[in-house]
Every structure is written in C-alpha cells, then in structure tokens.
C-alpha cells in the first residue's frame, strides 16, 4: 500500500516523501480514507503507530480542498477555527502542533497551539491573526473560549487524542463543556490506546455512526517491544538501574517513577553514579520540562526520569530503552509507557524493576496483556529471601511453607541464572 493509493493530495504526498515515510502505517491505511470522506472514526491505536498523521493528513486535505462549512459571514467574537484537536498534555499538544506544521508545509492553512503553563498573550495574538486548526489542552482551550478569544461554533472536524488518558486525568467535565460549544453536525475522530467501559461510553456519546479502526488487538502492547522483568529488592533498584545502564552501555533511557519526588531522587542518585540524568514532572515549569526533553533528545543527558503524567505524549525518535523503575498503579499505563519505545518499526526494550510488593501490579499487567512477561533474576541482585518471607507472613500465608518455596526458587534461579519464562 502506498500513500498515493490513499487518495492524498499531491502537496501532502510531497511532504511525506520529504519526511522519508516510505509507506503508510496500518492506522494510516485504515483511517485516512475514512477521514477523507468525512466519516467519524473510532481508532484503537497507541502512540508510535503513526496515529498523528492518520488524523492530521486528512484534516489538512479537507481544509485545503473544501470551502468552509459555515460561511464566515457576520463577524463573531473570537477566532473561528475549522478543526480542533484536544490532547491530554502540553507536550503532546506541542508535538501534534509540530506535526501539523510539518505536514501542512505546502498549504496556506494556519495552525496554532494553546496549552497551560505558558503565556496567554502569545496564544491570543496567534488566535487574533486567524487560525484554521487549533491544537489545545482542555483547560487552556476553555480559558480562551470563556473570554471569547476563540469560538468553537464553526468546528468541522474535532479530534480527541489519547481519550483514555483524558479520562484518567479527570478531563471529562472539560470535554463535555467543549462538546457543548461545537456544532452537532461535525466530523469526530476519536483516538485511544485502550478501551475501558468509560472510554467506550465517552466514544459513543460523541461519535455519530463511527467506523472502527483497530491496528493492534485491544490492550495489546506493541510487538516490536522486547519486555523483561527483573525482580529486585526495592532499596537496590537505583543501584541495579545504574549497573544496567553502565554495564550494558544504554545510551538513551526513559525511566518511569510513580512519584514526582521519586523522579527527582532517582535523577540525583544516577548523577552520583556518574550517569547524566534529568527528571521531568508536573512540579517543573513548562520551560524546564522542554529543556530537559531537548537535552535528552540531543543526547546531552543519558537518562530522562519521568512520571506518567509528565511523560504523556513524548515523541522521541528511536528510543531504545524504557525502564519501569516503579510499576504503574494502572495496568493501562504500562502499555502507554512501553509505547515510547519500539516506535515506527524499530525494536525497543521495556525493562521492569519489580520489588515484591509490586507483584500484584505485574499480575494486573499480565492480565491486561493476556500474556506472561519473561522474568530474570540478575546475579548479585536476587531478591533477599528474608524479605520474601516477611511479605509472605504479611499476606497471611504459612511462613514456613513460603520460606521453603522461595529459598528453593532462589536456589534454582541462582543455579541456572537463566531467563525464566513462567
Ligand atoms: P505517532 O504515533 O503519531 O506518535 O508517530 C510516531 C512516529 O512515527 C513519529 O515520529 C512519526 O514521524 C513517525 N511516522 C508516522 N507515520 C510514518 C510512516 N508512514 N512512516 C514512517 N514513520 C512514520
């Protein structure tokens, strides 16, 4: 399948050629023709599948070739945008904006981005100059809508990107407020990596006769990602991480921690081990987060430590290693995290450092993925058997039985020191 056969405009074909895209990805093959004819689309596609181009290319084409649906007659208050994309995070908004700018290089369409943590004035100036396509996070979009900087009354195409994350982040009220301000007759493109009951409910409440697009089976992690779990004692995790990065010469590593404090502490501790690391989390200013990301992308720092919220939407080309320093509270977050690697067909590695008290979280992930993840006990970093005993007692199991079992397990694993597939 080629981009030509999808019916794309010559100006867009030129751009994808210049970007070196040889052929459309699965989600592009399926979604672009539907979006081009104006259908509503409900797409199950995670980051890294090329989903941004799957909605950006058809939007650009429709706006380039079709006259505005609503005549721009009497002056209304605020910029009258024709396409709106909302994303859960600032970083993703910026990346989607960058993609629109790149793909729309040969069009006259005006694209703007609006997210929190940065000056309203710059955004107001852009909106006043006239905008066709606006990419925004929900809160900042509503700030502009409420004071009349932008009107959603003429929106012809609406994209809800990473809908599952929007719900996780508590944006449902904002989404409903935004929906109320858009015309009922519009095209809606709905993208989500996972489809829980709530996500489906939201999808069916805002889509009209949607066509389904699914590129990976529901809730399945990208198969270009090699996954490995290393059981280790909690207090030895940062030591093990430094060892893995150093001894295996990992050059660009994205590490996930559960808490903001944890991300700062880990970056510091890696620094003490001589590994250049920087953390990004919600406590940092937008400028600081962007600088950290730029340094990481440029190879100035080797490790980027992030919380789930801060990392959402990061697009780092050819990222080889993602490390779960803490297991995520929600199994779905694991799918999002490891979606940062193995992108656009490259092989990636997702490494999980699991302490005993996190076994429940691994179980939840394995249930979600419907698979068992391979585990390996690393020589010198095997979990301390006395801790296994403590946890067993805590769980109310027979201490003796558990102790015997865990000790024999350690013995076997030490003996074999081989990859263990459960
Ligand atoms: P996304 O899933 O939209 O975040 O895209 C992931 C990455 O794949 C981005 O860096 C895109 O530039 C890249 N990409 C998108 N479409 C293609 C394609 N057809 N061929 C090669 N790379 C692509």
Which domains, and CATH codes, for the chain? 3-214 (3.40.50.300), 225-393 (3.40.50.300)
Task: Say which residues have a Cβ less than 8 Å from residue 10's Cβ, sequence separation at least 6.
Answer: none
Does ligand 1 have an atom closer than 6 angstroms to the CB of 107?
no
- Best residue among 1, 52, 346 to mutate for probing ligand 1, ranked by most atoms within 8 Å of CB: 52
φ and ψ at residue 192, rounded to 5 degrees: -150, 145
From the first residue on, what is the mean pLDDT of each consecutive set of 10 residues in the chain (422 residues)? 93 95 91 97 85 97 88 62 94 90 96 91 92 96 95 96 88 95 96 88 94 67 78 94 94 92 94 92 76 87 87 66 93 83 74 93 87 86 67 39 39 36 32
**Closest CA to ligand 1's atom 1:** 50
Is 51 a pocket residue for ligand 1 (Cβ < 6 Å)?
A: yes
- How close is the Cα of 231 to the center of ligand 1, in Å? 34
Per-residue pLDDT at 408: 38
Token pair for 330: 């929600």
Residue among 344, 346, 348 to mutate when testing ligand 1 (max atoms within 8 A of CB)? 344
- Spacing, Cα 49 to ligand 1 middle (Å): 6
Neighbours of 383 (CB within 10 A): 22
Task: Determine the distance separating the centroid of ligand 1 and the alpha carbon of 48, expressed in angstroms.
Answer: 6
Task: Please name the residues in contact with 25: beta carbons below 8 A apart, sequence gap of 6 or more.
Answer: 49, 50, 53, 54, 215, 344
Q: Which residue has 């181009």 as its token pair? A: 53
Among 12, 53, 105, 189, say which to mutate for ligand 1: greatest number of ligand atoms within 8 Å of CB.
53
CA distances from 141 to 16, 56, 124, 250 (A): 30, 19, 11, 39
Length of the chain: 422
Whether 148 and 117 have beta carbons less than 8 Å apart is answered as no
What would the 3-class secondary structure string for 48-102 be? CCCHHHHHHHHHHHHHHHCCCCCCCCCCCCCEECCEEEECCCHHHHHHHHHHHHH
Residues 381 and 220: their CA atoms lie apart, in Å, by: 30
The protein residue with its alpha carbon nearest to ligand 1, atom 21, reads 21
On the 0-12 / 13-18 / 19+ scale of CB atoms within 10 A, 378 is middle
CA of 315 to the centre of ligand 1 (A): 9
Q: What is the DSSP string of 323-366?
A: EESS--SSHHHHHHHHTTSSGGG--EEEEEEE-GGGHHHHHHHH
Q: 51 CB contacts (<8 Å, ≥6 apart)?
A: 27, 31, 43, 45, 161, 191
Q: What is the dihedral of CA 337, 340, 346, 349, to 10 degrees?
A: -40
Q: Ligand 1 within 6 A of 52 CB?
A: yes
- Residue 294 contacts residue 321 (beta carbons within 8 Å): no
| 3 Cα nearest atom in ligand 1 | 19
- DSSP-based three-state secondary structure for 206: helix
Distance 313 CA to ligand 1 centre (A): 13
**Ligand 1 atom 16, closest CA:** 50
For residue 313 and ligand 1, the question of a CB distance below 6 A is answered with: no
Q: How many CB atoms lie within 10 A of CB 159?
A: 25
Among the atoms of ligand 1, which is closest to the Cα of residue 47?
Answer: 2
Structure tokens at 58: 């058809």
Tell me 375's DSSP state.
Answer: B
Distance from the CA of 404 to the center of ligand 1, in angstroms?
51
- Is any atom of ligand 1 closer than 6 Å to the C-beta of 352? no
pTM: 0.62
Cβ-proximal residues to 297 (8 Å cutoff; 6+ apart), any chain: 316, 317
**Ligand 1, atom 14, residue with closest C-alpha:** 50
List C-alpha distances in Å: 206 to 181, 183, 246, 371.
Answer: 13, 11, 49, 33
């Amino acid at each position: 399948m080629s981009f030509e056969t999808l019916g794309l405009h010559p100006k867009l074909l030129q751009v994808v050629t210049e970007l070196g895209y040889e052929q459309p990805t699965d989600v592009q093959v399926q979604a672009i023709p539907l979006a081009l004819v104006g259908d509503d689309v409900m797409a199950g596609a995670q980051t890294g599948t090329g989903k941004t181009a799957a909605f950006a290319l058809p939007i650009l084409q429709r706006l380039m070739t079709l006259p505005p649906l609503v005549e721009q007659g009497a002056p209304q208050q605020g910029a009258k945008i024709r396409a709106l994309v909302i994303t859960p995070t600032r970083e993703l908004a910026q990346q989607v904006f960058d993609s629109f700018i790149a793909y729309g290089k040969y069009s006259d369409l005006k694209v703007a981005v609006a997210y929190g943590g940065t000056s309203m004035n710059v955004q107001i100036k852009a909106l006043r100059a006239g905008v066709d396509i606006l990419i925004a996070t929900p809160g900042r979009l509503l700030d502009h809508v409420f004071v009349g900087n932008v009107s959603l009354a003429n929106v012809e195409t609406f994209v809800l990107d990473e809908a599952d994350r929007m719900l996780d982040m508590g944006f449902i009220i904002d989404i409903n407020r935004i929906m109320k301000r858009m015309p009922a007759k519009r095209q809606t493109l709905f993208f989500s990596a996972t489809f829980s009951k709530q996500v489906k409910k939201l999808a069916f409440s805002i889509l009209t006769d949607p066509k389904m697009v699914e590129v990976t089976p529901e809730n399945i992690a990208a198969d270009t990602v090699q996954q490995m779990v290393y059981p280790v004692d909690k207090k030895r995790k940062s030591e093990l991480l430094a060892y893995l990065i150093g001894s295996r010469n990992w050059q660009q590593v994205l590490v996930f921690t559960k808490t903001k404090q944890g991300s700062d502490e880990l970056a510091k501790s890696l620094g003490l081990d001589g590994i250049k690391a920087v953390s990004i989390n919600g406590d940092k200013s937008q400028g600081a987060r962007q600088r950290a990301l730029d340094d990481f992308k440029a190879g100035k720092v080797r490790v980027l430590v992030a919380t789930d919220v801060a990392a959402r939407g990061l697009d780092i080309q050819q990222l080889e290693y993602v490390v779960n320093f803490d297991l995520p509270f929600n199994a779905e977050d694991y799918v999002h995290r490891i979606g940062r690697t193995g992108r656009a067909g490259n092989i990636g590695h997702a490494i999980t450092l699991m302490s005993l008290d996190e076994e429940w979280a691994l179980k939840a992930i394995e249930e979600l993925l419907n698979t068992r993840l391979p585990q390996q006990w690393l020589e010198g970093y095997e979990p301390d058997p006395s801790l296994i005993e403590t946890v067993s007692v805590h769980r109310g199991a027979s201490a003796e039985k558990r102790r015997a079992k865990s000790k024999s397990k350690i013995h076997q694993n030490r003996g074999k020191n081989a990859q263990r597939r459960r």
